[in-house]
Amino acid sequence: MSGFDGIGGNVTVDGGKLWADILETARFGATPKGGIRRLTLTEEDRQVRDWFIRTCEALGCVVTFDSMGNQFARRAGTDPSLPPITMGSHLDTQPTGGKFDGIVGVLGGLAVLRALHESGRETRHPVELINWTNEEGSRFAPAMLSSGVFAGVFTEEEALAKTDRDGVRFEDALVGIGYRGAERCGDHPIAAYFELHIEQGPILEAERKTIGVVTGVQGMRWYEVTVIGRDGHAGATPMALRADALVGTAKLIEAVQSIALKHAPGAVGTVGLLENRPNSRNVVPGEVFFSVDLRDPDDAVIVRMEEAFRSAAAQVASESGLEITIKLVWDSPAVRFDPTCIDAVRRAADSFGYPARDIVSGAGHDAVYMAGVTPTTMIFIPCAGGVSHNEEESAEADDVTAGANVLLRAVLDADERLN
């Protein structure tokens, strides 16, 4: 296999057991439509974390967790002085999430640990599997919060103080499920980081590629927007005298769409969360809260999109008598991954004969922040129709197995080449 036998030998993952793990973990937070609702730091999250510990310990790993609840399953290497080669992703989901987003990366890493354990294959470095806390950001914004603390992008204090829409503090929720560890988040040496993930886009499937060699991640910014008008009686308030916050919001949503289309094909803009108050059928809305998500591979384009959106908001405010505030809550610049790790993934895909192509991620991942502190890259596999953040999210068992095999070979490659 392309001269890779000296590194990987005949060690491969057990695809059947990997698929069984996917189906088993889907029970934690299962929805009637076949998806998963497993918001971070909920009871369902605690259940899957407990499962993670039991399963990894059965493979001879030692499992710890840090002060942000990030879990580390460690398989010892022959040289304890070396930092670990790591794999990871997340087990939390969107409110209407699927069985594969993030989960494939954790369970694919588990399949690697199982393959090493059952084959007796030794590595120089320890090999670790990481389950990151709150990657999705659907309960506590922003996304990738705990890997961001690990990488020094956020302070632990500000992360622990985050609240969900019900006012629950991150720290209280973390303590509540029993996963606030003693090790300070970030005080954990790492030699390299690999993350397996579904593409969350249609390119690999359309081009019949099994593996995406991820070279980087596009930039993204999140905003929280509050539009304040004036409550009024739906029957007694003349149209000309209204300050309708929802109508103003509709204009801003249209502006997000138009701005993204103007900067296409690379740019995207999304309004995904909206709260209308007082949300009564016979009251003119007096306040609206909504989110805006802007992305592009070029950070300069995102800056221009933000400027255009702020200009549109100022115009709507002036014309409609509304007060509009825009708060930037997350700024994740575009990332380029490590060439050595990228080459390891390329060699691994080639060793199996999997059709592969280079690709840039349109979604954010924990690997974005890890790239700032250690050599990092990602491995993509196709997902049906490019659908993700959806209960219908789907991937083929053979592709999942292929991704885990590439992850295994890339980790072994890095173990041979890195100090």
Q: Is 323 annotated as a binding residue?
A: no
Please, is 231 exposed, middle or buried when counting C-beta atoms within 10 Å of its C-beta (0-12, 13-18, 19+)?
middle
CB neighbour list of residue 231: distance below 8 Å, 6 or more residues apart? 278, 283, 284, 285, 286
Q: Is 197 annotated as a binding residue?
A: yes
For residue 294, CA distances in Å to 211, 290, 361 come to 27, 13, 14
φ/ψ of 266, rounded to 5, equals: -75, -30
CB neighbour list of residue 276: distance below 8 Å, 6 or more residues apart? 245, 246, 249, 285, 287, 288
Structure tokens at 159: 């992360």
DSSP letter assigned to residue 66: B
| Residue 236, number of CB atoms within 10 A of its CB | 8
Provide the angle, in degrees to the nearest 10, between the axes of the packed helices 103-119 and 15-25: 140
Q: Is 117 annotated as a binding residue?
A: no
Q: Is 136 annotated as a binding residue?
A: yes
Q: Is 263 annotated as a binding residue?
A: no
Dihedral sign from CA coordinates of 278, 280, 281, 284? negative
DSSP letter assigned to residue 377: E
What gap in Å lies between CA 21 and CA 159, rounded to an integer? 31
The gap from C-alpha 177 to its chain's centroid, in whole angstroms, comes to: 21
Structure tokens at 149: 């603390």
Give the annotated binding-site residues for Zn(2+).
90, 101, 136, 197, 389
Binding-site residues sit at: 90, 101, 136, 197, 389
